[in-house]
Structure 1
Amino acid sequence: MNLITKFLTFVFAFALLLTGQNLAFAEDQYSDDLVPKLTSNTSAPPIVIEEDNYFAPYAGWKVFDDNTDSFASWYTYLLPSDAEGHFVIVDFGAGNTKKVQKINIKGYHISSSSKGSSVKDWKFYGSNDKTTWTLLSNDTYPNVVTTQSYEFNNDTSYRYYRLNILNSYFDPTGKTIGLNELELFEKSSTTPIDEPVLSGTAGNAKNTLSWDAVTGATGYILKRSTTPGGPYTTIASNVTGTTYTDTDVTNGTTYYYVVTAINDDGESGNSNEVALTPTDTTTPTGNRALLVISLTDGSTREYDLSINIVNDFVSWYEGKQSEAFVFTKEYNIGPFTSRQEYISQKHILSFEVKQYSK
């Protein structure tokens, strides 16, 4: 090393010292465990856990119960398996994929007299159809009962992940294996991407969605459910604009939408949820009509009106001009001088116009 190189190295190191930095490379950052604490194989929908076999009551979902007691484990006792051993599968649900790049495995001592660990050789796979599986990592778990971390490269997001345990230190044949805990992780985005803000308008046999553009996003994923809060199914992937019209809808059915932003680092969290109910708002042509309104509380209101009033109602509903529409009743007035009924727009689920001439 010549004198100039030594001098520059010294200056660089001294500058790092003054700024409180060091020469260590930054480690990869990972998400929280992608599978929450479970109390059954379906207790955190849309996630579902299954296994090829287990010795009751030690089912596969117990590897996600956050309980390190050996009795809270997945266990097979002298149960036959194929050459790939016994396995447990994580299904993240339709429209939900994850890019797992790290797993934590914890075995246990099956027998107090034999200190052989319940896990030895293992393989980890990913799939999007549960038929074709891609090997992501494989290794040998040491003969211990402590948590071991394994990191690997994976550039594909998968719906299904499968851990195969081929054998154990207790049983080299692989009939008796066990797993205390399993954790799955994604790499955290190096540049976290914001969640979009979603809005929408219901129409006749269609729902139109729009959202604010997110800085750094290369596309968007639109998801839909018929249940508030999901689970959501992806209906459009890699949308490059900030609007989308969903025409695969049925009038009178309420749909719940969220949108996420994506870039090379991953996917944002879900946006706010928007509920839309497509409705046939075709302007009637008869001189009178029966207006039947279905409300969100399950009740209905029926009005026999002139076509002008019906047109006013349709215009009010489409234009959202005020909070409520006022119907002045001309029948069943009783002892009163007038009767008026107010219908709030936010409580209208759907309405039907039955035209007739009089």
Structure 2
Amino acid sequence: MKLKFFSGLFLTVMLISLVIAPTTYALTIGERLTAPESGWKRYDDRADGIKYLGSGWTNGIKDNRFYDKTNIYSHQKDASIQFDFTGTDIRIIATRYLNHSKNIGITIDGVTESYSAYKNVSMSEGQILVYEKRGLPNTKHTVTIQAVDSGVISLDAIDMNETGELIDYKAEDLTAQAGDKAVKLNWTPVADAAQYVIKYGTAKGNYTESTTVTSSVYGNYTVTGLNNGTTYYFAVSAIVNGLEYSNSNEAVATPKEMPKEPEKPEPTGNRALVEITLINGTVKEYDLSMKEVEAFLKWFDTKDAGQGPSKFAINKGTNNKGPFSSRVDYVIFDRILTFEINEYVAQPDDKPLT
């Protein structure tokens, strides 16, 4: 009786344990994962920022076996996949089939591991977890995937921790400003870009011309040699680590002949009285040569454009110097209210006013 009682009690405890014990489930490599787990996010194989290098890349048939009904694969030995991301955890979701590679190398920040996408089945399987890496430093990582042996490599999706991001080095906020036979482009510079490809054409989305410039243009470049009256469509892409990334938004502009600035009248004299009114009401008058007047005007225009020194030296001449070797007034730009220039022709006996 005691043995039966003990056995019954043991079975009862085991049944209770099975009912109330929390269920834990650890996803393993080779299982099908049709959606990212809690705490993860997913990028489809067509996401901007994923680069398919080498040859033979093919878009698979649209099929519910694959995430978002798509996958990309290649059977060429030179084919590889490359992308950058920020985060700590990453999963590679791919297809699995009897012609897929048994030894696919995956390199993260220079450290190479491997996984297999081979399975002897009559029909390819999609959305398979083929590789997982967790506990990476929470910083930017570079990933390269390439088959070591013969066989197909594919990509169905990429999962990463929900705070991670797939990096797309995309130029943004492109604008175009029309000029005379030219268009000035501006965009937000891309971090780590070594070069930019400027693309343009006369039809929307059809860029028949391109030029490559260095990152020293800092998101500012003028395309010249265009035809006035013709509408041009522009896009810019960044080159990072030798790879060209997706195009920016498209910008449109039509070059046109710009109105010419009226020609400045030729000087009618060889000297001028320059009358400068300061913001405090003081009026200064100087008798200057036209060379000195031109230097004053050049200084004023340059400073008005935000460049050059804040003061201008005016030599008051040789008269009435007293004990001084020279007399120089310094005019401060932000103290000038107005100025007036009155030209005249100096006669041989005329002396400059002081």
TM bucket by the smaller chain? 0.3 to 0.5
- Larger of the two Rg values belongs to structure: 2
Q: Which has the higher strand share?
A: 2
